Amino acid sequence: NAGVTQTPKFQVLKTGQSMTLQCAQDMNHEYMSWYRQDPGMGLRLIHYSVGAGITDQGEVPNGYNVSRSTTEDFPLRLLSAAPSQTSVYFCASSYRGTNEKLFFGSGTQLSVL
Amino acid sequence: GENVEQHPSTLSVQEGDSAVIKCTYSDSASNYFPWYKQELGKRPQLIIDIRSNVGEKKDQRIAVTLNKTAKHFSLHITETQPEDSAVYFCAASFNNFNKFYFGSGTKLNVKP
């Protein structure tokens, strides 16, 4: 049981490039989410999903896309990277929703030059 | 949406002392309040949580209190140890929101 697996751990992009951050969980969790962590600002929700085929926006969705074609996977796409998207990104999941423990991935440190 | 404020942003205590971190929330519908600990370079991990039908919960040296009327909740760590040094985040949620709202974090430094 690997839990929540995130790749890559580190990534450097140039402004305007696109990329996908991968997230997978093997705990049969319905709820999955993406956060960004910036110094002094805590964790801010980007997008979330309550099940396969269902996604919705969080607090800071602009510049990001998500899809949930399977229960296990929830990739985050940066469409055209900007320096303001330099951050640490965490994927997190829970069994059913937000009244339960969140399991976090190990994070992706992204730098946009 | 919900707004969670957390204080202080940094806290330095001597080993063996107690540490208290406070959070306030704005939406009275919130009913689940977890606390996460994040060690340097690691992922956040749940250390304790409380639901709105409970006023206090304790787990060994860690306790959380909730005042629904005042809309604030606090994390109490007693007999602090150097391994308690980390960033602590509070959060609030209501299941129908499908969103967690996190505080900005408290960096706790426990001096040996």
Compare CB distances from B46 to A97, A101, A105 and report the shortest one's residue: A101
Nearest to B63, CA basis, from B99, B20, B108: B20
Ordered DSSP codes for B22-64: EEEES-TT--EEEEEEE-TTS--EEEEEEETT-SEEEETTEEE
Query: What integer is the mean pLDDT of B69-87?
Result: 97
A40 close to A104: Cβ distance less than 8 angstroms:
no
Cα four-point dihedral sign B11, B13, B15, B20: negative
B108 close to B85: Cβ distance less than 8 angstroms:
yes
**CB-based contact, B40 to chain A, within 8 Å:** no
**CB-based contact, B80 to chain A, within 8 Å:** no
Q: What is the pLDDT of residues A10-66, one digit of tens each?
A: 999 999 999 999 999 999 999 999 999 998 888 999 999 999 999 999 999 999 999
Compute how many other C-beta atoms are within 10 angstroms of the C-beta atom of residue B25: 23
* pLDDT value, residue B2: 86
Alpha-helix residue ranges (DSSP H) falling in chain A = none
A21 close to A107: Cβ distance less than 8 angstroms:
no
What is residue A82's three-state secondary structure? coil
B56 close to B66: Cβ distance less than 8 angstroms:
yes
Residue B99 has pLDDT above 80, yes or no: yes
Q: What is the pLDDT of residues A58-102, one digit of tens each?
A: 999 999 999 999 999 999 999 999 999 999 999 999 998 878 899
Among all residues of chain B, which has the CA nearest to that of A40? B104
* pLDDT value, residue B33: 96
Compare CB distances from B44 to A45, A99, A104 and report the shortest one's residue: A104
Q: Considering only CB atoms, which chain A residues are within 8 Å of B1? A: 59
Report the C-alpha gap between A110 and A29 in whole angstroms: 26
Among all residues of chain A, which has the CA nearest to that of B32? A99
Query: Å from A39 to nearest chain B CA?
Result: 9
Q: What is the pLDDT of residues B101-111, one digit of tens each?
A: 999 999 999 99
Q: What is the pLDDT of residues B63-77, one digit of tens each?
A: 999 999 999 999 999
Contact A99 B103 (CB under 8 A): no
Query: Å from B95 to nearest chain A CA?
Result: 5
A97 close to A50: Cβ distance less than 8 angstroms:
yes
Residue B97 has pLDDT above 90, yes or no: no
Give the A-side interface with B, CB within 8 Å: 31, 33, 35, 40-45, 48, 50, 56, 58-59, 90, 97-102, 104-107
